[in-house]
Structure 1
Amino acid sequence: MGLKKAFFLLAVIGLLGALLLTAAVWAACSAIRSGFPAGGMAIGPDGTITFLEEPTGKQRMLSAALGYMQIFSCILFPVCGLAGAGALFYRLKCKAPILILQEGVRRIRNQDLDFSIPAVSEDELGQLCAAFETMRAELLKSNQELWRQAEERKRLNAAFAHDLRNPVTVLKGTVKLLRQGTADEQALSRIESYTQRIEQYVEVMSSIQRLEQMPVCKKEVSCGVLLGELEETARLLAPKLRVSVCASGENADTSPAHLQAETVLLDQGVFLTTAENLIGNAARFAEKEIAIRLDIRAPYLSLLVRDDGPGYPAALVQDGPKPFGKMKEDAEHFGMGLYVCRLLCGKHGGRLTLENVEGRGALATAVFQII
C-alpha cells in the first residue's frame, strides 16, 4: 500500500477508535451520574409537591468531574488516536527504509560500496531504496572501471618504460662513444634509428590514450557493407594468402542475401580498427590461409579471424593480450594490436577472446554489443 493510503487508513482507524472510546466514556460517566440523587422537587398530578433527596457535596464534586471528563475525552482521545496512528505509520512504513538509507549514505560517505540495499516494500520509500541500490551499483561499477583503467594504465606505463630501456641504453652508449671519439661510422645512423623507434613508441602511447577517450557512436550499418570492408582489408593486408570471408546468423537456414541485407547498430570505426588489427596480426603468422567470419546473434555481433599459423602462446591465451606483448621480436611491430582490439571491444560492450584450434592455427573472436 502506498504511503498516502496507508496514512489515511491508519488515521481513520485511530479516529474511529478515539470516537468509540469517547462514546464509552460518555456512557460510563452518564451511567455513574444517573445513580446520584437529582435534588429539587417533584409536582405530582394532583398538585402535591415532593422534595427530592439532595446530592451530597461529594456527589456534586464527582458529578462535575465526570462532566469535565466527558468534555476532555472529546479532545484527548482524537488527538491520541491521530498521534498513535502517526507513530504506527512511522514504525510500519518509514522506520526501516529510513534506517537503511541512512546506513547506506554513511557507508558511501566512507567509500564503502561493498553492500546491498534490500527491497523492504513496494511503496514510495521501497522504490526509493531500489533507486538508491541502483545508484550504488552504478557507482560501484564506475569505481571498478576507474580502478581497472588505473591498473591498466600502470601496466601500460610499466611495459612502455621496459621497452624504452633498450633504446635509451643504446643511445647512451653511442653518445659516450662519440664523446670519447671512438664511435664508428654507424653511430649517427644508430642514433637516428633508435630515435625514430622512441618516437614510434611515443606515438603508440598517444594513440592508446586517444582510443581510451574515444566515444562509441553506434549507427545502423548493413552486414553487406561490413563484409565488403572485411574483404577489402584482407586483400590489402594479406595479398599473398588465401582469404575466405563469410557470414552466419542465429538460424542456420538464413540465406546469404538475407544476412547481407540485415542491419546492425555498430560503431563502424571501432569495428574496422579491430578488424584491421586482427587481420594484420593473422597475416603475419599465417602460412597459407586466413578465414574471416561475421556471426550475428543478437544482442552481439562477433568477428572471428582464424589463421593456419603456429597459434598463440599459452600465456597469451590464458592471461589475454598485454601492452607491448610481442609474440616474436620484430622492430616494426610493438605488440599493441591485440591489446588495442581488447580495449575497443570492451568500449563497445563486448570482449576479445583468443584460442588455439588444434591442427588449424589461432582463432581470435571480437565481440561487439549491437543493441
Structure 2
Amino acid sequence: MENLDFNVQYSGITEINDVISALDKMKEELSDSLKKQWKIEEARKSQISALAHDIKTPLTIIKGNSELLNELDLTEAQKEFNDSILKESGNIEFYIKLLIDINKSQQSQSIVKESINSYEFINDIIKQGEFLCLNKNVKFASDVKEVSETFNGDISCVKRAVMNVLSNAVQYTPKRGRILFSVYNDDKYMHFIIEDSGRGFSKEELTMATEEFYQGDKSRNSRDHYGMGLYIAQTFVNKHGGIINLSNSEYLGGARVELTILK
C-alpha cells in the first residue's frame, strides 16, 4: 500500500511492548529505505518516458528522408540499403512503443472511469481486429451477446488491454487461421474473450504467460516478442477490479484469453 506512516499501539505487558518497540524501529527504517527507493523508481520511469518521446523526433527525420530517397531513381543496391533503413526505423518505433507501454502499465495513478457506450466500443475493437487479421490473411469472427448499453471504465485502458490480447492472438495464429472475439456481460462484469487457432498455451504458459517479460519457449517465439502483451493487459484489467483467465480453446484449438472487468 506504500503506507508505513502509522502509529503502533502498545499493550500493558512489558515483554510485548519490547517486541512492539523493536518492530516500530524496523518500520521507521524500512519506511525511510522504501521512500528513497520509490523516489528513485519514479525518477527512472520519468527519464525513460522522456527519452522514449525524445527519440521520436530524430527517428521521424530519418524515416522522412529515407521515404524521400525512395522516390528517386535508386540503383538496386541503394534501394535495398534504403529499405533496410526504413525497416529498422520501424523496429525502433516498436521498441519505443514498448517502453512507453511498460511505463504506463507500471504507473500507480488511479484510472479515470467514465460511462462507455458498449456497442461503440465493441464495434471499434471488431474493426481493428478485422484490419489486423486482413494483413495476415486470418479469418476474424465476432460473437456479441446482448450486452448492457453502457459500462464503466477507463476507455483507453480497457481498449489497450483487449487490443494487446487480440494482437497476441494474431501473432500466434498461422495464415488462413481463425480468431473469434466474443463479448457478454452478467450483473457485475463485462467479459471479453479472444480465441485463436494457433498452437495454444503450454502447461507452463497457462500459469506464467502474464508475468512481465515472460517469453516461454523462445524457439517458438518471434524475435519481436518481449513477453509484455498479456502482462500489460492484466495490469489494466486488475486496475478495473477484474481478472484475466488463460485456457485453451475447445472451439478453435488454440489459446483462449478471457478479460473480465467490473461494469
Deviation at 1:317, TM superposition (A): 0.4
Q: How many Å apart are 1:194 and its aligned residue?
A: 8.0
2:178 — aligned with what? Answer: 289
Q: Percent identity?
A: 19
Q: Structure 1 counterpart of 2:130, which letter?
A: R
CA distance in 1, matches of 2:244, 2:205: 12
Return closer, same or farther for 1:364/1:230 CA change in 2, 3 Å cut-off. Answer: same
Q: 2: CA distance between counterparts of 1:355 and 1:280?
A: 17
| Shift of residue 229, structure 1, vs aligned partner | 1.4
Q: Give deviations 1:177-226, integer Å, cap 9, x for gaps.
A: xxxxxxxxx9xx99998898678546523431122225411111122122
Flag the 1:105–1:294 CA change in 2: closer, same or farther, 3 A: farther
Change (3 A) 1:241 1:347: same
Q: Residue in 2 aligned with 1:212?
A: 106
Q: 2:232 aligned with 1:335, yes or no?
A: no
Query: Cα distance, 1:228 vs. partner?
Result: 0.9
Task: Name the CA shift for 1:109/1:299 in 2 (closer, same or farther; >3 Å).
Answer: farther
Number of aligned pairs? 197
Larger radius of gyration, structure 1 or 2?
1
Task: Find the counterpart in structure 2 of residue 361 from structure 1.
Answer: 254
Q: How does 1:85-164 map to 2 (within 5 A)?
A: 99=11, 110-111=26-27
* Conserved? CA contact 1:306–1:363, under 8 Å: yes
The offset of 1:109, in angstroms, is: 5.8
* Preserved contact between residue 310 and residue 362 of structure 1 (Cα < 8 Å): yes
Q: SS of the counterpart of 2:238? A: helix
**Offset at residue 326 of structure 1 (A):** 3.4
Q: Does the Cα contact within 8 Å between 1:279 and 1:305 map onto a contact in 2?
A: yes
- 1:192–1:331 Cα change, 3 Å: farther
The answer to whether the 8 A contact 2:195-2:257 is kept is yes
- Report the 3-state secondary structure (helix = DSSP H, G, I; strand = E; otherwise coil) of the residue aligned with 2:27: coil
Q: Distance in 2 between matches of 1:339 and 1:272?
A: 15
Q: 2:196·2:249 contact (CA, 8 Å) conserved in 1?
A: no
**What is residue 196 of structure 2 aligned with on the other side?**
307
* Structure 2 residues not aligned, in runs of 5+: 1-8, 29-33, 45-79
Residues 352, 364 of structure 1: 8 Å contact kept: yes
What's the C-alpha RMSD, in Å, of the aligned pairs? Answer: 3.9
CA–CA distance in structure 2, aligned partners of residues 300 and 105 of structure 1: 43
**Following TM superposition, by how much is the alpha carbon of 1:241 offset from its aligned partner in structure 2, in angstroms?**
2.7
Distance 1:325 1:232, change over 3 A: same
Report 1:230-245 matches (<5 A).
230-239=125-134, 240-245=137-142
Taking structure 2 as the reference length, the TM-score comes to 0.60
Q: Distance in 2 between matches of 1:277 and 1:356?
A: 18
Structure 1 SS opposite 2:247: strand
Separation in 1 of the partners of 2:169 and 2:186? 24
Q: 1:110 to 1:298 in 2, by over 3 A?
A: farther
Offset at residue 111 of structure 1 (A): 3.3
- Structure possessing the higher relative contact order (Cα contacts under 8 Å, 6 or more residues apart): 2
Aligned counterparts, 1:8-157, within 5 A = 99=11, 110-111=26-27
